[in-house]
Amino acid sequence: MAAPLDLTRLTAAQLTAALATGEVSAQEAVDHVLAVTDRENPRLGAFLSVAPELARQRAAALDERFAQDGPTGRLHGLPTAFKDLTDVAGMRTTFGSRIAQDAEPADQDDALAATVHGAGAVSVGKTNVPEFGLPCHTENLIAPPTRNPLDPARTAGGSSGGAASAVASGMLPAAPGNDGGGSVRIPAAACGLVGVKPGRNVVPADRQGAQMTAQLGGPEVGSVRNLTCSGPLARTVADAGLLLDAMMGAPWSGPGDRGPMQTAAERADAGQLTVGVSTVSPFAPDLEITLAPAALQAVTAAGAALARGGHEVAELGVRYGADYHAMFRTVWTSGLSRVPLPEEAVPLLGPLAQHFMELIQGYSETQVDDAVSGLEAWAAEARRQLGAADVVLTPVLAFAPPKIGAFTSLQPAEDYELQCRFTPYTSMVNVMGLPAVSVPVLRDAEGLSWSVQLIGREGSEVQLMALAGQLERLLSGQG
């Protein structure tokens, strides 16, 4: 008689394969995840809320359907969780803010949650987020801070910090996030995970949301003001590809059918590519950007590995235009103006959100329009320069994830400046609207992970996943 599977050792792809054949039931997978969460969440603060009864009910329903019709989709029975910025039916959405912490549970899933649940996934709760998903650290006023499983004294990053902490600690096999300035790639890099940001509006739910916003008088679908993209956080590139296929609604014909992103990650040949290496940040010279030695070592190691894999790797000369820092801050903070806040709610906001609200009140319509048009021109020129290579290789983080409280102990303006110096290569990709993948490369003497970012051309998601998968294999000695 075969020994039962050890669920703690399975990748998300392996777990979905076991779920699809009935070797593991949805209820068994959910019970396992809930048990790990009970053990790990009190020390890491990855979840804002856990919904065990809802999760068990959905798992039982999936097992009943499986007995009659087989697996229900690509992610049949896979436990996961959405950030507490995303509506999930039956769960409260707090946005990490005191103004919504007593909100009623959502009546229905938002578009992304509906897509992922439609692929068979089971949500077990809502992961922790900073207020409104604004900072790149996950500390708010309604819950304990999210801690990094590699060093619980340090931040897990943000705004998908709760998701990253949950995946890196084994509470979840993989998790969806969203990324408006690095919110998937930053916590992925901080916690030693793979994080994917597709191109602007490539994920159907993102495109649908942008179209609805435009119809209501918001920014146009292709505007640089539409910075946020949905993407996965996972322990391997293949797992990220699996979840990304589900998020994109890729057709599924049954067990063994891998989608284009997972297929690319697992075995596709990216071809011989030109890889341009750059450590230039658009935040300089407005901000002093200083890279830790390990950040540079990760770039060197990744470049050497890709060269061994047959790619042409060379330094890419990039000269970013002036004023990126000021233009991005204006566009980034002005997004908060689309949040309907009654005046009496403003004092309930945390210091950073209040600071952003004060900045917004000082903007004229002309200032915002000028920042948007300036950033559009900046993005066009930056895309042209980066387009000299098939893929651009950069660091993700400039230095190690700071200790809990390092950001929030500062005045809000200094907090935001430290965030920009910590993450000097991520927001520019959102502005350009390009796809990017954060891939872990090495661990330092303290056990912290250091990653690189692979930036692709528009529409190159499949190629980028193939290259990320190849890099992962080369670094492990399998490529």
| Sheet strands (E) in 297-409 | 312-315, 391-395
Q: Indicate if 476 belongs to the active site.
A: no
* CA nearest to 10, candidates 178, 204, 242, 177: 242
Residue 290 CB burial class (10 angstroms; 0-12, 13-18, ≥19) = exposed
Backbone φ, ψ for residue 360 (5° rounding): -60, -40
Q: Indicate if 83 belongs to the active site.
A: yes
Strands 391-395 and 194-197: unpaired
Q: For residue 447, is it left (φ>0), alpha (ψ between -120 and 50) or beta? A: left
Residues 6+ apart with CB under 8 A from 56: 27, 30, 31, 34
* DSSP H or E run through 4: none
Active-site entry in 97, 165, 169, 183: 183
Tell me the C-alpha distance between 435 and 458, whole Å. Answer: 7
Query: Is the N-terminal amide bond of 281 cis, ω within 30° of 0?
Result: no
Tell me the C-alpha distance between 463 and 479, whole Å. Answer: 17
Maximum alpha-carbon separation in the chain = 72
Active-site entry in 25, 83, 123, 169: 83
Tell me the C-alpha distance between 196 and 235, whole Å. Answer: 12
What the block records as the tokens of 473 is 């294999």
Are 268 and 462 in contact by the 8 Å Cβ rule? The answer is yes
The residue with tokens 């102990």 is: 409
Tell me the C-alpha distance between 433 and 227, whole Å. Answer: 7
* Alpha-carbon torsion angle 325, 228, 176, 216, nearest 10: 150
Task: Return the number of other C-beta atoms located less than 10 Å from residue 308's C-beta.
Answer: 11
Active-site entry in 159, 278, 334, 449: 159
Q: Indicate if 183 belongs to the active site.
A: yes
Catalytic residues, by residue number, are 83, 159, 183
